[in-house]
Structure 1
Amino acid sequence: MTKEQVLKVYQEKFGNDTPEVYASPGRVNLIGEHTDYNGSFVFPGAIDKGMVAAIRLNGTDKVRAYAIDLNECSEFGLNEEDLPKEGWAKYIFGVCREIVKRGGKVAGFDTVFAGDVPLGAGMSSSAALESTYAFALNDMLNLGIDTFELARIGQSTEHNYVGVKCGIMDQFASLFGKKGHLIRLDTKSMEYQYFPFNPEGYKLVLLDTVVKHELASSAYNKRRESCEHAAATIAKRHPEVKFLRDATMEMLDEVKQEISEEDYMRAKYVIEETQRVREVSDALERGDYETVGAKMYETHHGMSKLYEVSCEELDFLNGVAREHGVTGSRVMGGGFGGCTINLVKDELYDSFIADAKRQFKDKFGHEPKVYDVVISDGARKL
């Protein structure tokens, strides 16, 4: 939705004031999956889809918010006991509360917002929403909060008001995004580096299975425990190992008899994925997208066979990509449904998409959704 459309709705709801307009993007992650809680690297980029909000201070201690896409209103105060009942409003309320907890002064405001980040497709619509309001309030109220702390405000909102124990990648990517660049974030040191991503002659496209298998949250916790157990076992011999990111395959093989086969497989995936991120970093600096693609396929194999977080639908789409000579394809996100992210040569794009839709529908009864994405800028005032 454009700035003009959001302004128009704002004026219909709240009168002819001229609000400020802010936007924040969703994100994709090229490689580095299930690595964040292992102290390793992630490799996200902001995309050309996100949230747009019109905001104006209203001189009260109340927030009046309207979600354009849902056609729902919410009004709430700024104290802890004022938690709104609407799920989407909790994100805005949480951002306000997290700013207050850090000593920032938040005033009441009127706002409308809309987004074109597909919900539930793994592009982090919730982080885009949090980042929009954190960035906007920081700017409008001259709070002087640094960008990293704005990302932590979004993350804390998820933890404390939504009940999702997420890492920081989504909010980080939404705030730090830079057109034509991916960001390698070291989740242990929080150091980050931009890498050029200008795949001329290729498109980046997500194929959404539109399925979400129930396993996700319990399976996530179980895998996290496997990784922590493997790291702790290695640390008995190598005290410098705090996370699996610090371990090598040689160290893991030393303790193979002391851990379960399942823990071994999970740890092997993480150690190999850490190495793949390093190789992709080098490949991007050379502009070598064929190597990037090969590493994406390796990640898919690891997530499917070692980490076991893929599913039949994702493996099927990955197989179609391989048959079509697509440069790179893998499951993106936590797994058990959601999207594959695909790096496709321009000349193969039309036939790949047409065949993927047809074959998937023949097998599963519905077509996957298709989202072309372009790597774009992070949170900003429009």
Structure 2
Amino acid sequence: MKEKVTSKFEELYGPGAVLFASPGRINLIGEHTDYNGGFVFPGAVDRGIVAAIRLNGTDRVRAHALDLGQTAEFGLSEADKPAQSWACYLFGVCREIQKRGGKIGGFDTVFAGDVPLGAGMSSSAALESTYAYALDDLFSLGIDKFELARIGQATEHNYCGVNCGIMDQFASVFGKKGCLMRLDCRSMEFEYFPFDPEGYKLVLLDSRVKHELVGSPYNDRRASCERVAKMLGQEFLRGATMEQLDAIKDKISEEDYKRARYVIGEERRVLDVCAALEKGDYETVGKRMYETHWGMSRDYEVSCEELDFLVGVAEECGVAGSRIMGGGFGGCTINLVRDDVYDRFIATAKEKFAARYGHEPAVYEVVISDGSRRL
């Protein structure tokens, strides 16, 4: 990717670019908890975005998305928002830095990525983190890493139409090789947990069903949680118990009840997984992953037939843990697989999925890697 991006940059804009990269992420457990003030447990992966960037001394940005073969040019004031959706990510990052008092100018850039699009691995957060980190570096702005993550999150909210939590951008900026991170999304405190599952592999199976998070499905669920939290007299669902939820069951809709039941259970599961990892107990980690999946499928209703099918295959093959990963409505399952069942699981999943849906799932082994950086 570095060579591809540099070569295209020189062809379009000449020499002198600096390279930056940010990763996509997996989330072992803790899904749809971030905007509820709860815990998430992500890690950065060895796939991401690489960008070549050179300041151009003007107030214009000239950008080329290599994978799409598209170019955009835009200014840095609010009225200059570009038409292309991918360019809105870059524009949003520029604007959010400016809103925080950062003095930036124009630049030329080419970027490419190897995060599978629509797989729930947060290619958009990798893109935002790359440019937030790069502009901070190139303009010597001195923005702290949490603020870089918030800039990416605000870009999603204000320029891309997704009212997301902070997890994806946090994982992309703060990633550390060989470690997962437990982030408290209320206090913003975080802790690294070594993740070295000897005798197990972490692998994603991509259903290749693409999900689109813009619009109602994601925002509807967030609104459900906010209604229940308000009814409980809390800002977030974080810390609520099932006893408290059951006490107001007759005052809320069945749908809101189910959404909140999932989130309250998920907070407990994240803490259980952290405790299990400290003991090297990967079988408990796997059990909690299955519980998360069926909670997301039945209570939160963000799964789909293809993902439920893949998790069912994992259960049949004796896989330690499997669940939908990401916002939902397609994308990947994340699987914790013992080495002795790995080959059989992958072969069975491919064969059965293709027989049912007409194509094989894509398989991505995961390596936990570093966060945003200058290359």
TM range (shorter): over 0.9
1:336-355 superposed matches below 5 A: 336-355=329-348
Paired letter, 2:307: L
Question: For 2:337, what is the secondary structure of its paired residue?
Answer: strand
Which residue number in structure 2 is paired with residue 218 of structure 1? 216
> 1:304, 1:311 within 8 Å by CA — same for their partners in 2?
yes
Question: For 2:57, what is the secondary structure of its paired residue?
Answer: coil
Distance 1:219 1:369 in 2: 25
Distance 2:206 2:34 in 1: 23
Residues 76 and 257 of structure 1, relative CA distance in 2, 3 Å threshold: closer
Q: Deviations over 1:194-221 (max 9, x none)?
A: 1111112221111111224679843333
Q: Deviations over 1:127-183 (max 9, x none)?
A: 111110110110111101111111111111112222221111111110011111111
> 2:119, 2:330 within 8 Å by CA — same for their partners in 1?
no
Which residue number in structure 1 is paired with residue 60 of structure 2? 62
Q: Deviations over 1:331-356 (max 9, x none)?
A: 11222222111111223222211110
Question: For 2:153, what is the secondary structure of its paired residue?
Answer: helix
Distance 2:213 2:137 in 1: 40
Question: For 1:244, what is the secondary structure of its paired residue?
Answer: coil
Q: TM-score, normalised by structure 1?
A: 0.94
Question: For 1:155, what is the secondary structure of its paired residue?
Answer: helix
1:272-291 superposed matches below 5 A: 272-291=265-284
Distance 1:84 1:290 in 2: 48
> 1:23, 1:132 within 8 Å by CA — same for their partners in 2?
yes
TM-aligned CA deviation for residue 12 of structure 1: 1.8
Residues 175 and 322 of structure 1, relative CA distance in 2, 3 Å threshold: same
Q: Which runs of 5+ in 1 are unaligned?
A: 236-240
Moved more, 282-291 or 127-136: 282-291
Moved more, 152-161 or 129-138: 152-161
Paired letter, 1:310: S
Paired letter, 1:341: I
Paired letter, 1:70: L
Which residue number in structure 2 is paired with residue 242 of structure 1? 235
Moved more, 292-301 or 364-373: 364-373
Which residue number in structure 2 is paired with residue 374 of structure 1? 367
Residues 45 and 77 of structure 1, relative CA distance in 2, 3 Å threshold: same
Paired letter, 1:34: H
> 1:216, 1:334 within 8 Å by CA — same for their partners in 2?
no
Moved more, 177-186 or 247-256: 247-256
> 2:213, 2:327 within 8 Å by CA — same for their partners in 1?
no
Which residue number in structure 2 is paired with residue 174 of structure 1? 172
Which residue number in structure 2 is paired with residue 27 of structure 1? 25
Q: Deviations over 1:324-380 (max 9, x none)?
A: 111110011222222111111223222211110110111112221222211110000
TM-aligned CA deviation for residue 38 of structure 1: 1.6
Paired letter, 2:275: D
Paired letter, 2:182: R
Q: Which runs of 5+ in 2 are unaligned?
A: none
Moved more, 251-260 or 26-35: 251-260
Which residue number in structure 2 is paired with residue 208 of structure 1? 206
Residues 139 and 298 of structure 1, relative CA distance in 2, 3 Å threshold: same
Which residue number in structure 1 is paired with residue 253 of structure 2? 260
Distance 2:138 2:96 in 1: 16
Which residue number in structure 2 is paired with residue 10 of structure 1? 9
TM-aligned CA deviation for residue 13 of structure 1: 1.8
> 1:91, 1:130 within 8 Å by CA — same for their partners in 2?
yes
Residues 232 and 20 of structure 1, relative CA distance in 2, 3 Å threshold: same
Paired letter, 1:6: V
* Percent sequence identity over aligned pairs: 71
Aligned residue pairs, count: 375
Paired letter, 1:360: F
Which residue number in structure 1 is paired with residue 323 of structure 2? 330
Which residue number in structure 1 is paired with residue 69 of structure 2? 71
Question: For 1:166, what is the secondary structure of its paired residue?
Answer: coil
Which residue number in structure 2 is paired with residue 80 of structure 1? 78
Paired letter, 2:129: S
TM-aligned CA deviation for residue 290 of structure 1: 1.2
TM-aligned CA deviation for residue 81 of structure 1: 1.9
Question: For 1:211, what is the secondary structure of its paired residue?
Answer: coil
Question: For 2:283, what is the secondary structure of its paired residue?
Answer: helix
> 1:216, 1:335 within 8 Å by CA — same for their partners in 2?
no
Distance 1:55 1:232 in 2: 45
Residues 292 and 357 of structure 1, relative CA distance in 2, 3 Å threshold: same
1:296-315 superposed matches below 5 A: 296-315=289-308
Q: Deviations over 1:295-321 (max 9, x none)?
A: 101111211222222221111100100
Moved more, 224-233 or 113-122: 224-233
> 2:88, 2:159 within 8 Å by CA — same for their partners in 1?
yes
Q: TM-score, normalised by structure 2?
A: 0.95
Distance 1:34 1:276 in 2: 13
Distance 2:307 2:369 in 1: 26
1:270 and 2:263 matched: yes
> 1:216, 1:336 within 8 Å by CA — same for their partners in 2?
no
> 2:24, 2:121 within 8 Å by CA — same for their partners in 1?
yes
Residues 62 and 246 of structure 1, relative CA distance in 2, 3 Å threshold: same
1:106-121 superposed matches below 5 A: 106-121=104-119
> 1:62, 1:109 within 8 Å by CA — same for their partners in 2?
yes
Paired letter, 2:11: E
TM-aligned CA deviation for residue 29 of structure 1: 0.9
